[in-house]
A = this chain, B = another copy of it.
Amino acid sequence: MSCFELNILGCGSALPTTRHFPSSQVLNLRDKLYMVDCGEGAQIQLRSMHLKFNRLNHIFISHMHGDHCFGLPGLLSTLGLLGRTGELVVHAHPDAQKIFGPVLDYFCGALPYNVRFNPVDPYKSELVHEDRTVKVYSIPLKHRIPTCGYLFQELPKSAHIIRDMIDFHRIPVKQIAKIKEGADFVAEDGSVIPNQRLTRPADPPKKYAYCSDTAYYEKIIPIIQGVDLLFHEATFCEADKTRANETFHSSAKQAAMIAKAAGVKKLILGHFSARYPDNSILLEEAKTIFPDTILAKEDLVVKI
């Protein structure tokens, strides 16, 4: 019930390698799936990781570079073949509808469900989506083209019921929902059992931030302050910093500096350049600044 998991579908960058798929990941939040970026092969990885296609209702695209969105037509087409009827929302740069709309119309003209494009302004941090589980905010980033990351802020959960107390006071099942929401229990004899004797506090809601692609950009620090998990791109290592600067990407060290400055709990690096046969050089570099760092990797599931 309180599941909040990050699934890495792909964490490479634009050039294909035998090690990585391009950018795509899926947040599993209490069995609802939220995809972030949809590089080529995302649907193949979704299948391979046994994630349920019909649990996916929202796709968030960071920017309009192919390695972050060329998997969209195939995935949306497949959802149609699978008989989907519920609306799917693609949150993306306003150009997304203009570019992918005609492709979808041509290839999937008779889709049995509606694809709605929600235009995201990449220049300000604002609420992009809200449902009963999560609020999602955009995070303006600094890249060659308009780009934004996404902050997933889980909504507060109900308190945990203490089973033994429910049994002891013979509390009817129909009262339990109210007690979870904070109500006291009034017994038949009028006595009041205060809520805090019947419940344990809910787990604190979690936060996850996705920041890719971006140069080193301190303006994101207040937005991602204290998140439980930060995904920050680390396309290059410090030795290739010139290239990082030219292409508006970050080094692993820079990603770690952001994580440290924002006081996040854990950092996960991704969007690896094809030039590194072994990404551990990036991990070591980041750990010198921010020890609680891990490397993204295809098929990895991280509990948040």
Contacts of A182 in B (CB 8 A): none
Contacts of A99 in B (CB 8 A): 102-103, 106-107
A243 CB to nearest chain B CB (Å): 13
Contact with B along A60-94 (1 / 0, CB 8 A): 00001111001101100110011000000000000
Question: B71 to A14, Cβ gap below 8 A?
Answer: no
Question: B40 to A71, Cβ gap below 8 A?
Answer: yes
Question: B14 to A81, Cβ gap below 8 A?
Answer: yes
Q: Give the distance in Å from the alpha carbon of A77 to the alpha carbon of B65 in the complex.
A: 10
Q: Give the distance in Å from the alpha carbon of A10 to the alpha carbon of B199 in the complex.
A: 54
Secondary structure call for the A interface: helix
Q: Give the distance in Å from the alpha carbon of A102 to the alpha carbon of B104 in the complex.
A: 13
Interface positions of A from 7 to 23, Cβ below 8 Å from B: 14-18, 21-22
Q: Give the distance in Å from the alpha carbon of A78 to the alpha carbon of B274 in the complex.
A: 12
Task: Answer yes or no: A116 CB below 8 A from chain B CBs.
Answer: no
Task: Answer yes or no: A46 CB below 8 A from chain B CBs.
Answer: yes
Interface residues contributed by chain A, number (CB under 8 Å): 33
Question: B18 to A77, Cβ gap below 8 A?
Answer: no
Contacts of A17 in B (CB 8 A): 47
Minimum CB distance partner of A41 in chain B:
B41
Task: Answer yes or no: A48 CB below 8 A from chain B CBs.
Answer: yes
Q: A14-B81, A78-B14 are in contact. Are A44 and B64 (CB under 8 A)?
A: no
Question: B21 to A107, Cβ gap below 8 A?
Answer: no
A155 CB to nearest chain B CB (Å): 32
Q: Give the distance in Å from the alpha carbon of A160 to the alpha carbon of B95 in the complex.
A: 58
Question: A77 to B81, Cβ gap below 8 A?
Answer: no
Question: A77 to B82, Cβ gap below 8 A?
Answer: no
Question: B40 to A74, Cβ gap below 8 A?
Answer: yes
A105 CB to nearest chain B CB (Å): 9
Q: Give the distance in Å from the alpha carbon of A41 to the alpha carbon of B71 in the complex.
A: 9
Question: B44 to A16, Cβ gap below 8 A?
Answer: yes
Task: Answer yes or no: A250 CB below 8 A from chain B CBs.
Answer: no
Question: B66 to A44, Cβ gap below 8 A?
Answer: no
Contacts of A44 in B (CB 8 A): 16, 21, 40-41
Q: Give the distance in Å from the alpha carbon of A85 to the alpha carbon of B78 in the complex.
A: 35
Q: A44-B16, A71-B40 are in contact. Are A95 and B102 (CB under 8 A)?
A: no
Q: Which 4 A-B pairs rank lowest in CB-CB distance, beginning with the nearest?
A: A40-B74, A16-B47, A70-B74, A66-B77
8 contacts between A and B (CB under 8 A): A16-B44, A16-B47, A21-B44, A40-B43, A40-B71, A66-B77, A67-B74, A70-B74
- If A16-B78, A40-B74, A70-B74 are given as contacts, then 10 extra A-B residue pairs at C-beta distance below 8 Å, sorted by A number, are A14-B77, A15-B82, A21-B44, A40-B70, A64-B107, A65-B107, A66-B77, A70-B107, A95-B106, A103-B103
